[in-house]
Structure 1
Amino acid sequence: MPRFSVIVPAYKVQAYLEECLTSVLEQSYTDVEVIAVDDCSPDACGALIDEAAARDPRVRPLHLPHNVGLGPARNAGLELATGDYLLFLDGDDTLTPDALRDLADRLKATSEPDVLVFDYARTYWTGRTVRNQLADLLTEEGPAPFRLDDRPGLLSLLMVVWNKAYRREFVERAGFVFPPGYYEDTAWTFPVLLTADTLATLDRVCVHYRQRRQGSILVSTSRRHFDVFDQYDRVFAHLDARPELDRWRPVLFRRMVDHLATVYGRRGRLPRDSRAEFLRLARAHYRRHRVPGAPLGARHLLIGLGSHRIYRALSLASGLVRRARRLAAGAGRRLTAAALRTHYRIQLRLPLRADRAVFTRDEGGRYGCNPGALESAFRNLVPHIRTAWIARPEHHHTVPLATRRLRPDSAAYWTALARSKYLVHNDDFGPGVVKRTGQILIQTRQGTPLKRMGLDLRDRPAAARTADAGRMLRSADSWDFVLSGNRHSTLVWERVFPSGFTTLEYGLPRNDVFARATSADVARLRQTMGIPEGSVAILYAPTFRDYRRDHRPALDPERLLHRLGPRFVLLTRSHPSFGEPLARTTGDRVIDVSDHPSVEAVCLASDALVTDFSSLMFDYANLDRPVVVYADDWEAYEATRGTYFDVRDFPPGAVARDEEELADIFATGHWCGSRSQQRRRAFRERFCPHDDGRAAERIVRRVVFGENAWLPSVVPPAGRHPVPPAMAGGPTAPLTTVPVPGSRAPVAERL
């Protein structure tokens, strides 16, 4: 008996069916059977199902002798299902990676509920993906399982069958079957949710709901849309047969009215000569199922009175009101924007303030990275210069109390950009910002470049569509200084951003903390992140892929940890562009640190790094801790994005080309062996020549005091002694606060 039975009806979906079946069969969770129902499809669906069955015994093909429609086809699959739980997947939709694993984990965690509701995202033929707008209803907070009375908002979700997992015993005991006709999900989903004794939710996109450009029944013109009346008759018949459910009648009545109004109001669904008939039937259903005290909105007047003219009048009036509000709001926004532009132009004519410096990163992101390290150095080394940090409101809590907070596009923001002498960014201030004579703009960049950047992206297929050479050069022309950590970076920046800036090859400020941290700092950070004492913490931090739409991780954290044994734990940190964690399940051994505000803190807490083509490897090398390069898609990455050298030929440590090899590297100890140490030593000497803990000081002195400023000499890599990893340092030091030279707080506190 498999854990899941996935029922896939197929009719005229030959272009999508193989992708649909593959999305199920390639799940990391394999305890599944696929019942693929060929609904006498006239295309190649039947052959594709047979081919899939020949390749994988988990596919159970079922060929119907004649076309019966989506509902009866699902019923045919139900009769063959043997799994603990039932899933339904339309032949043109797909499961997301690791969806079944997360479903199985959530079912176990919520004591095997009758129904588990999960989320979906609409995927458009243009490549755009949009998550369900009511995803907040699927929160996993609070007790689970629960009854529908505890979470009635679930009835507001799209009433489809494929966003739920159903306990087969519950479905068979209640005798649920799909009716024929369009909108068959309605007569299944409402009764199921109302009848279930236990429900649970999973706040995770498990299905990609394909929005076809053509061919969807919801955009077809047909009298079969009249089937919606029969479906709601079945829903209310379910209530009539179960008096204990009568309290849900008002909710279902409102849903019915909204649904009928939607079918009627969507252009193209109903043949023109049938619209009046549809409205008459809708009025009859309204009166038949009406609940006393029902609201009288425009849609209820349309359905209840059966008058299209009244509906049109109300809709027109409502539309005029909405349009007036939009115009007023738009006028207000334009007026505000005009006022801010005028304010900025005025500020540009006022004198510069030599004692002001403004910092930001990543379009108003949280405090940190090179700009954050420089801001801290400004406050400590030149306290007469007042600093400000530009951040969106949700990141203001990350900014130190001594630093002024600025909200993007506010009056104070434009004042600071117009009158501050020093401007520091790791990206671009945007086209509306004017670089004044006398202002000094420091471009920190975001690390040592391995992947191609700047003008080198013009011939790269994955990045060329977003590489605006003209904009990049105009931005570079405003830079006074560009930070560099090594000769490689200096040569790249000056070639791919050909302009008149001065390169400060002094090291990267964000890496100063690696040279100053203590064992007490490491112990404190590991404790706050929940890393078990005595374990080996591997940080897995891959970069993004320009050539891929999804961000499916290249390795399975749980499978890797199973190979390595109980001593190891995995810290997973997704790239900021991912928008979701790399690992779906977390616990004592898989710890998601994606939301931790400081990547430097995460590095200090770890014992080793596993990455691919991320610039983090250059920063991490300063810690002199093991680095393993996981280059499973090197050829694809090189062909699409491109790199400046083959990191496999000059790596900072061991190199793995697949997950099996990665596991062997750790299982055999090669990750921290002598060969890996030799590679790391050579890598540090080439790419970390200046990161001795005083890079920010050198930069501030050079920028503020000029070319003749005294600059601290550089300690070579061989003379540095970075804090050892916890697993190499024996028992961790006591959790005391150790001051860092030149700072006002311990490293762990500042991180």
Structure 2
Amino acid sequence: MGKIKSAIYPHLQRMRYKNLISVFEKGKKQDMIDNQILMLSTSKGSLGGNLGAIKSYIELNLLDYKIITVTSVDQMSIEELGSVMAQSRFIMVDDFEPMVYVLSLRPNQQLIQVWHAMGAFKRFGYGRATAESGSLTHKNYTKAIVSSPEIVDIYAESFGISRDKIIPVGTPRTDVFFDEKYVSLAKERLYGKAPELKNKRICLFAPTFRGQNVNDAFYPSEFIDLQALSNSLGEDWAVIVKLHPFVKGKLDIPKSKSIFDFSDEREINDILFITDVLVTDYSSVIFENAIIGNSAVLYAPDYEQYNANRGFYYDYNDYSCGSIVTNQSELADAIKSITNNNPQYMAFKQRFVSLCDGNSCRRFVEKILEENK
């Protein structure tokens, strides 16, 4: 049955978008516009992340590109979208975009994946044992970017494309980490939201969700006693809680001058600017945190179960920036003693984020847009 499903799966994908395919094929009769970029982010209401960063860089530097954006709010009809797709020299996506996988691209047309996540942590795409190998998904990218040279092969496997199509340029959305004005304004806003955080050392507790997706996402409340953690850290510390956006059932946050729920904050990266120690488990925020330069503790009470269900690209110890804890009794001591000046931390940064240096947008333009114009 598995072989039959694998054989018919591409047909089902094409059938779903047969009208778009038809319009796209007709659109190939039109001239392709060499400087036109179509940015697709149809699961989101606004352009952000890597696409937003690249767009801002192009506009700020007055580069000669015409950018068209499509989001869940700014949509197009099938007729208009198929025509624009066919005319655009560059089509960019930053997530799973099923409509592009059924397209037979024009000669010299570029379909570029600027994947929203960075590094290589939890398995995704064809790196997962449950992936449908016969699928068309991801396989027609002409280029994809990564945050460091070492993870090229991992992304090639996960997207089902050859390694020469994976271009290490860094992660464009992290360029803002090196923008002093942006960082200063973010700090000012957060301290204004909670003035009690000033003059405190800050532990950011930001675990990922458990469950399959947004419909059943949760974080086990028995894993963490926030009041006990705060008490163990002492008066010099404050704890900020930032749960994954998928988690609807919030933790019981004690009323305290040392514990703050920032789960409503859209950008966890902004919180990292005022953080001293990040505590997470299997979240890719560990990569952004390392770029900014904070210390980190991995707190994973359910490591064995999580690893069996999802799996990682490297041994879990390789994601440590110095400390892994599996029970809360050891957590406070680990937080207070961890530093960002240890061999594990340096090895982690080199492996996963070596090109995230504030110049990722520039490299993207030079190595992908300009070289393929």
Q: Normalized against structure 2, the TM-score is what?
A: 0.80
Q: Deviations over 1:52-77 (max 9, x none)?
A: xxxxxxxxxxxxxxxxxxxxxxxxxx
Is the aligned partner of 1:452 residue 2:123? yes
8 A contact 2:299–2:324 mirrored in 1:
yes
AA in 2 matched with 1:658: N
Q: 1:529 to 1:687 in 2, by over 3 A?
A: farther
Cα distance in 2 for partners of 1:622, 1:690 equals: 10
When residues 483 and 339 of structure 1 are mapped into structure 2, their CA distance, relative to the original with a 3 A threshold, is closer
1:523 paired with 2:187, answer yes
1:644 aligns with 313
Q: 1:514 aligns with which of 172, 177, 184?
A: 177
The alignment covers a number of residue pairs equal to 347
1:377 has 2:57 as partner: yes
- Compared with structure 1, are the counterparts of its residues 610 and 515 closer, same or farther at alpha carbon in structure 2 (3 Å cutoff)? same
Q: Which runs of 5+ in 1 are unaligned?
A: 1-336, 394-405, 459-463, 710-751
> Partner of 2:111: helix, strand, or coil?
strand
1:516-567 Cα offsets, whole Å, 9 max, x none, are 3356345324335435321223222222335795512432333322332343
Question: 2:352 aligned to 669, 676, 687, which one?
Answer: 687
Do 1:364 and 1:390's aligned partners in 2 also have CA atoms closer than 8 Å? no
Deviation of 1:392 (Å)? 2.3
Q: Which structure's CA Rg is the greater one? A: 1
Name the aligned partner's letter for residue 188 of structure 2.
Answer: R
- 8 Å contact kept, 1:626–1:677: no
List structure 1 segments (4+ residues) > 6 angstroms apart after TM superposition: 337-342
SS at match of 1:526: helix
Please say if 1:353 is aligned against 2:36: no
96, 103, 109: which is aligned to 1:434?
103
Greater relative CO (CA pairs within 8 A, separation 6+): 2
CA distance in 2, matches of 1:592, 1:417: 43
Q: Determine helix, strand or coil for the equivalent of 1:627.
A: strand
Alpha-carbon shift at residue 490 of structure 1 (Å): 0.7
Amino acid at match of 2:127: D
Assess, with a 3 A threshold, how the Cα gap between structure 1 residues 392 and 650 changes in structure 2: closer, same or farther.
Answer: closer
| 1:248-263 equivalent positions in 2, closer than 5 A | none
**Change beyond 3 A, Cα 1:381–1:646:** same
Counterpart Cα distance in 2 of 1:380 and 1:543: 34
- For structure 2, which runs of at least 5 residues remain unmatched after alignment? 1-16
Counterpart check, 1:552 vs 2:222: no
Equivalent AA in structure 2 for residue 417 of structure 1: M
Describe the shift of the 1:347–1:601 C-alpha distance in structure 2 as closer, same or farther (beyond 3 A): farther
Residues 429 and 419 of structure 1: CA distance in aligned 2, closer, same or farther (over 3 Å): farther
The amino acid that maps onto 2:124 is M
Tell me how far apart the structure 1 counterparts of residues 157 and 287 of structure 2 sit (CA, whole Å).
Answer: 20
Distance of 1:640 and 1:346 partners within structure 2 = 44
Does residue 671 (structure 1) correspond to residue 351 (structure 2)? The answer is no
Give the deviation of 1:680 after TM superposition. Answer: 1.7
Contact 1:546 1:641 survives alignment (8 Å): no
**Aligned partner of residue 558 in structure 1, secondary structure:** helix
CA distance in 1, matches of 2:21, 2:155: 33
- Alignment partners' CA distance in 1, 2:145 and 2:124: 15
| Structure 1 residue matching 2:38: 3-state secondary structure | strand
**Is 1:492 aligned to 2:172, yes or no?**
no
TM-score after normalising by structure 1: 0.42
1:572–1:582: 8 Å Cα contact kept in structure 2?
no
Q: Which position in structure 1 is the counterpart of 2:289?
A: 620
CA distance in 1, matches of 2:61, 2:103: 28
Question: Identity, % of aligned pairs?
Answer: 22
* CA deviation map 1:408-457 (0-9, x unaligned): 65665444434322222122321465253132111122211112223231
Alpha carbons of 1:585 and 1:408: their partners in 2 closer, same or farther (altered >3 Å)?
farther
Q: Could you tell me which residue of structure 2 aligns to residue 368 of structure 1?
A: 48
Partner of 2:139: 477
Taking the aligned partners of 2:250 and 2:359, their CA distance within structure 1 comes to: 34
CA RMSD of aligned residues (A): 3.2
1:351 match: secondary structure? coil
Q: Distance in 1 between the 2:331 and 2:72 partners? A: 39
Distance 1:555 1:354 in 2: 54
Aligned residues of 2:41 and 2:72 also touching (Cα < 8 A): no
Find 1:561's aligned residue among 223, 230, 241.
230
Matched, 1:539 2:204: yes
CA distance in 2, matches of 1:585, 1:637: 28
Q: Which residue of 1 aligns with 2:371?
A: 706
How far is the alpha carbon of 1:612 from its aligned partner?
Answer: 0.7
2-structure distance, mates of 1:642, 1:340 = 36
* Residue 260 of structure 2 corresponds to residue 591 of structure 1: yes
